[in-house]
C-alpha cells in the first residue's frame, strides 16, 4: 500500500514533519509513506489560478495515485495552519484529488491539547463538497508535549505511544482498503475508443484511417529525415532515431493517455512479431485494435486504469501457451511527465527464453523443475503463442483464458 | 464617533464580502467611521527564528490598536475561513496582539444559501484563541446568503428584512463597544498573557 503524508506546517522546524518521517521509517516494509513538501505552494487566489503550476500538479498527482493520505497538523490559533488550508483550497478549486480518498488525521503540538481543535476543524474542511475526502472516523492521534516526545534520531520515545500509533495506522490501512473498493469498478470508465483528446491528439484525421500516419504527420507538419530532434540526453535526427528504435530487439508500443495507439518500433515484419501490429493500425483507438473482443477489452481497461490511477507503474503478464523454447512476456509501463501526470503506456513484448538459454549456456547450467513451485509448469508445453493480431495492451492470448494481471509489487513502490 | 476597522476576509478582486463592508461603511457613516482594510497583499504566514512580521501586517495591527472595534467579513472556502484570512490573523498575533479585548463583529457573505455559517463558527473559535483573545459580540450572526443577488447597482442591499437585521446588529455592536470600554479591568493582564503565550512554548 502506498500512502502520502502531508505535514501541515511550513515552519523550518516542524514536529509534525518529524512525526510523519517517524511513521514512514517505522512502517517501512508494511506500508510505503512518502512525505510531501508544501513549502512552495503559492497563496490561493481566485484571481490568479495556478492550478496548472508544477508544484500543485505534482501534489495533486501524488495524492491521486496514493491509496490514502495522512495529514499531520499542528494547531495555531485554535485552527489548522493557513499554509495547510491554503493547499487544500488549491486542491478543491479546479481539481479534486482528495475526492473519495481515505484520509487519516494526526497531530502534534507543544501543548497538552495536541492539536485537538485543529483536528476538528480539519475534519470539517475535508468534508466540504469540493474536497470530499473520506476521513477515518474516531482514532484520534494527538501527540501533546511534543518537545520531549522524540529522541535525537527523530524516533518516538514512549512505547505505548508507538503501539497506539501502530494500532491506529493498522485500522487506517484496513479502512483505506475498504474505501478504495468503492471505486474498484472505476476501470469501466476507461474510454478505449479514445473519444477524448489530449494536447497532443491530432484532430481532423480519422483515427481508423489506414493512412493515419501520413495524414496526421502532414496535419502537424511533422519533421522527418535528417531534421534534428533534441532529446533530454542526446541530439539525433529523425532517421537516427528510427535506426536505433528499429534495431532495439524488443517490440515497443506507445499508447497515449487518450488510449490511442500512436507508435510501434517495427523491427520485425508483422508475421514474426510476438504481438502482431500492422502499419495501418497506427493511429487506431484501442477499441479498434481489439474488435469484438469483450473480455480482452475488460482486461485492457483494468490494466490501463491501474497505470493511469497510479495503483502501479508496471504490469507484467506472461502470454499463455509458451513452449520450452519460448516464454513471451508483455510489460505495460506507465509514462509520466515531469509533474507526474499520466502520459500513456509504454508497452513492450519480449521472449525471455532465448535470454535465459544464453545465460545457461554461458554459465554452464541447466534448468530443473522446482518441486515447490506453485505455477503449473507443464500447461504451457503444447504450442507456440498464437499469431493473433493482438495489438497493444491486450491481457490474454485470446478470449479463452482469463488472466489476472500480475501487479509487480516492487515497482509499485517506486517513485516517479 | 467610534472608529472601526473592517477587514475584507477575501483576497479576491471580486468579493461580495467587500461589497457588504462597503455598504455598511456607507449606511452607518453617521454613526461610525469605518475604514476598509485589505489582506490580499500579505504573504502566507510562516514562522521565522527572528519572529519577522511584514510591515503591511504591522500597519494593519496599528490601525486595529487605534480603532474602537473591528468588523470582519468572511467568505467560506471548504467549510472554513479562507487561508488568506487565516494567514492574516496569524500575522496579527505573531508577537503583536492588537486584537486582545478588541470588540469584533463577525459578518459574512456567500454565493450559496448558507451565508458562510460554518466559516463564521470557526472564526469565532479562532478569535477566541490565546494570542488573539478578541471580544467577539455574542449571539449575533449575520449571514448573507445568495450574495451575488443581494445588492443593487448602487451596491445597496435590496432586501428590507436583511437591512433591518443588519441595522439592529450594528446598533447592538455600538452598544457592545461602549460596554466593552467599561470592561477593561483585566486588559493589562490579558495583554500580558497573550504576550507570554506561544504555540511553540513548552
State whether residue A50 sits within 8 Å of chain B by CB.
Answer: no
How far apart, in whole angstroms, are the C-alpha atoms of residue A81 and residue A169? Answer: 24
How far is the C-alpha of B91 from the C-alpha of B54, rounded, in Å?
Answer: 8
Close Cβ partners of A304 (under 8 Å, ≥ 6 residues apart): A187, A190, A192, A255, A259, A286, A332, A345, A393
Q: How far is B40 from chain A (nearest CA, A)?
A: 9
- Residue A379: what pLDDT? 44
Residues of A in contact with B129 (CB under 8 A): 77-79
Share of chain A above pLDDT 70, in %: 89
> Residue B116 — pLDDT band, cuts 50, 70, 90?
confident
Is A166 exposed, middle or buried (CB count within 10 Å of its CB: 0-12, 13-18, 19+)? middle
pLDDT at position A384, please?
38
A58 exposed, middle or buried (CB, 10 Å; 0-12, 13-18, 19+)? middle
d(CA B48, CA A166): 33
Residue A96 pLDDT > 70: yes
Q: Give chain B's mean pLDDT.
A: 93
Cβ contact, residue pair B12, A111, below 8 Å: no
Q: Is the dihedral of CA A312, A181, A100, A83 positive or negative?
A: negative
**B140: distance to nearest CA of chain A, Å?**
21
Interface test with B, best of A8, A17, A76 (most B CBs within 10 A): A76
- Chain B residues in contact with A110 by the CB 8 A cut-off are 198-202
pLDDT band for position A375 (cuts 50, 70, 90) = low
pLDDT digits (tens, 9 = 90+) for A280-335: 999 999 999 887 778 888 889 999 999 998 888 999 998 877 778 889 999 999 99
Which residue among A77, A89, A130 sits closest to B83, beta carbon to beta carbon?
A: A89
In the block, which residue shows the cell 518516538?
A: A156
Go through A320-337 and write b for each residue having 16 or more CB atoms within 10 A of its CB, e for each that does not: bbbeeebbbbbbbbbbbe
C-alpha cell at A336: 509520466
Q: Is A40 on the interface with B (CB under 8 A)?
A: no
> Which residues of B fall within a CB distance of 8 Å from A81?
45, 86, 90
Q: Which domains does chain A have, with CATH numbers?
A: 2-182 (3.40.50.360), 212-413 (3.30.450.20)
What is the torsion angle, in degrees rounded to the nearest 10, for the CA atoms of residue A53, residue A57, residue A58 and residue A62?
Answer: 170
Q: What distance in Å separates the CA atoms of residue A62 and residue A6, rounded to the nearest whole number? A: 11
Nearest CA in chain A to B13: A47
**Confidence at residue A401, expressed as pLDDT on a 0 to 100 scale:** 37
Q: Compute the nearest-CA separation of B118 from chain A (Å).
A: 9
Looking at the partner chain, which of B40, B83, B202 has a beta carbon nearest the beta carbon of A85? Answer: B83
Q: Which residues are CB-neighbours of B3 under 8 A, at least 6 positions away?
A: B32, B33, B34, B35, B66, B67, B68
CB count within 10 Å of CB B133 equals 20
Distance CA A11, CA B46 (A): 6
Cβ contact A77–B93 (<8 Å): yes
- The per-residue pLDDT for A389 is 36
Give me the residue from B14, B80, B199 closest to A125, CB to CB.
B80
Give residue A410's pLDDT band: very low, low, confident or very high (50, 70, 90). very low
pLDDT band at A374 (very low <50, low <70, confident <90, very high): confident
Write the pLDDT tens digit of every residue in B54-90: 999 999 999 999 999 999 999 999 999 999 999 999 9
Chain B nearest-CA distance from A74, in A, is: 9
The chain B residue lying nearest A144, using CA atoms, is B202
Chain A residue closest to B118 (CA)? A124
Residues of A with CB below 8 A from B46's CB? 10-11, 83
Check pLDDT > 90 for residue A392.
Answer: no
CB nearest to A77's CB, from B40, B80, B126: B126
* pLDDT interval class at A399 (50, 70, 90): very low
Contact A44 B82 (CB under 8 A): yes
Tell me whether residues A145 and B90 touch, CB distance under 8 A.
no
Rounded to 10 degrees, the C-alpha dihedral B100/B54/B73/B198 comes to -40
Q: Do A77 and B47 touch (CB under 8 A)?
A: no
Q: Select the more confidently predicted residue: B190 or A413.
A: B190
Query: What's the grid cell of residue A127?
Result: 468534508
C-beta separation of B89 from B132 below 8 A? yes
Reported as a single tens digit per residue, the pLDDT across A197-243 is 999 999 999 999 999 999 999 999 999 999 999 999 999 999 999 99
Please tell us whether the domain made up of B2-196 is placed in CATH 3.40.50.360: yes
Lowest mean pLDDT among A14-18, A383-387, B188-192: A383-387
Question: Chain A residue with minimal CA distance to B124?
Answer: A78
Q: Is A110 on the interface with B (CB under 8 A)?
A: yes
| ipTM computed for the complex | 0.91
A42-76 per-position pLDDT tens digit: 999 999 999 999 999 999 999 999 999 999 999 99
Amino acid at each position: 500500500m502506498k500512502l502520502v503524508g502531508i505535514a501541515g506546517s511550513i515552519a523550518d522546524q516542524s514536529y509534525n514533519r518529524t512525526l510523519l518521517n517517524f511513521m514512514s521509517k517505522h512502517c517501512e516494509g508494511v506500508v510505503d509513506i512518502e512525505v510531501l513538501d508544501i513549502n512552495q505552494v503559492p497563496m490561493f487566489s481566485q484571481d490568479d489560478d495556478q492550478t496548472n503550476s508544477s508544484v500543485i500538479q505534482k501534489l495533486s498527482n501524488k495524492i491521486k495515485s496514493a491509496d490514502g493520505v495522512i495529514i499531520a497538523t499542528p494547531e495555531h490559533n485554535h485552527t489548522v495552519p493557513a499554509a495547510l488550508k491554503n493547499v487544500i483550497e488549491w486542491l478543491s478549486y479546479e481539481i479534486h484529488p482528495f475526492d473519495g480518498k481515505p484520509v487519516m488525521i494526526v497531530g502534534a503540538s507543544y501543548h497538552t491539547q495536541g492539536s485537538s481543535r485543529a483536528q476538528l476543524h480539519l475534519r470539517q474542511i475535508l468534508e466540504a463538497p469540493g474536497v470530499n475526502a473520506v476521513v477515518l472516523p474516531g482514532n484520534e492521534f494527538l501527540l501533546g508535549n511534543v518537545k520531549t516526545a522524540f529522541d535525537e534520531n527523530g524516533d518516538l520515545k514512549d512505547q505505548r505511544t508507538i503501539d497506539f500509533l501502530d494500532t491506529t495506522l493498522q485500522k487506517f490501512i484496513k479502512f483505506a482498503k475498504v474505501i478504495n473498493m468503492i471505486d474498484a469498478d472505476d476501470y469501466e470508465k476507461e474510454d478505449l475508443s479514445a473519444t477524448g483528446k489530449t494536447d497532443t491528439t491530432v484532430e481532423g484525421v480519422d483515427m481508423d484511417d489506414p493512412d493515419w500516419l501520413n495524414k496526421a504527420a502532414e496535419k502537424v507538419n511533422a519533421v522527418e529525415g535528417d531534421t534534428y530532434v533534441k532529446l533530454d540526453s542526446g541530439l539525433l535526427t529523425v532517421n537516427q532515431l528510427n535506426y536505433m528504435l528499429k534495431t532495439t530487439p524488443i517490440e515497443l508500443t506507445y499508447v497515449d493517455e487518450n488510449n490511442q495507439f500512436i507508435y510501434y518500433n517495427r523491427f520485425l515484419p508483422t508475421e514474426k512479431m510476438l504481438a502482431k501490429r500492422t502499419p495501418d493500425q497506427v493511429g487506431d483507438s484501442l477499441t479498434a485494435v481489439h474488435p469484438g473482443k469483450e473480455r480482452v477489452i475488460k482486461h485492457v481497461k483494468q490494466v490501463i486504469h491501474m497505470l493511469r490511477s497510479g495503483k502501479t507503474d508496471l504490469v507484467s503478464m506472461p502470454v499463455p501457451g509458451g513452449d520450452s523454447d519460448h516464454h513471451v512476456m508483455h510489460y505495460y509501463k506507465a509514462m509520466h511527465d515531469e509533474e507526474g501526470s499520466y502520459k500513456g503506456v509504454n508497452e513492450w513484448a519480449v521472449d525471455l527464453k532465448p535470454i535465459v538459454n544464453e545465460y545457461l549456456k554461458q554459465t554452464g547450467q541447466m534448468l530443473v523443475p522446482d518441486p515447490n513451485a506453485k505455477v503449473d509448469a507443464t500447461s504451457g508445453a503444447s504450442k507456440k503463442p498464437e499469431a493473433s493480431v493482438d495489438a497493444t495492451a491486450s491481457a490474454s492470448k485470446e478470449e479463452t483464458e482469463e488472466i489476472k494481471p500480475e501487479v509487480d509489487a516492487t515497482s509499485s513502490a517506486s517513485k516517479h | 464617533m467610534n472608529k472601526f476597522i473592517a477587514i475584507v476576509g477575501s483576497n479576491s478582486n471580486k468579493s461580495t464580502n467587500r461589497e457588504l463592508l462597503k455598504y455598511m461603511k456607507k449606511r452607518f457613516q453617521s454613526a461610525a467611521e469605518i475604514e476598509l482594510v485589505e489582506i490580499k497583499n500579505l504573504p502566507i504566514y510562516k514562522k521565522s527564528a527572528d519572529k519577522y512580521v511584514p510591515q503591511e501586517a504591522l500597519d494593519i495591527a496599528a490601525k486595529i490598536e487605534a480603532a474602537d472595534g473591528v468588523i470582519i467579513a468572511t467568505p467560506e472556502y471548504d467549510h472554513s475561513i479562507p487561508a488568506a484570512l487565516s494567514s492574516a490573523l496569524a500575522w496579527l498575533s505573531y508577537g503583536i496582539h492588537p486584537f486582545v479585548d478588541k470588540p469584533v463583529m463577525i459578518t459574512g457573505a456567500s454565493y450559496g444559501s448558507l451565508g458562510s455559517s460554518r466559516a463564521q463558527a470557526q472564526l469565532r473559535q479562532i478569535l477566541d484563541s490565546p494570542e488573539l483573545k478578541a471580544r467577539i459580540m455574542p449571539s449575533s450572526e449575520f449571514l448573507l446568503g445568495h450574495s451575488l443577488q443581494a445588492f443593487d447597482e448602487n451596491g445597496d442591499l435590496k432586501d428590507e428584512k436583511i437591512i433591518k437585521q443588519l441595522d439592529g446588529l450594528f446598533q447592538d455592536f455600538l452598544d457592545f463597544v461602549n460596554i466593552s470600554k467599561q470592561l477593561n479591568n483585566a486588559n493589562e493582564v490579558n495583554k500580558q498573557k497573550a504576550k507570554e503565550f506561544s504555540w511553540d512554548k513548552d
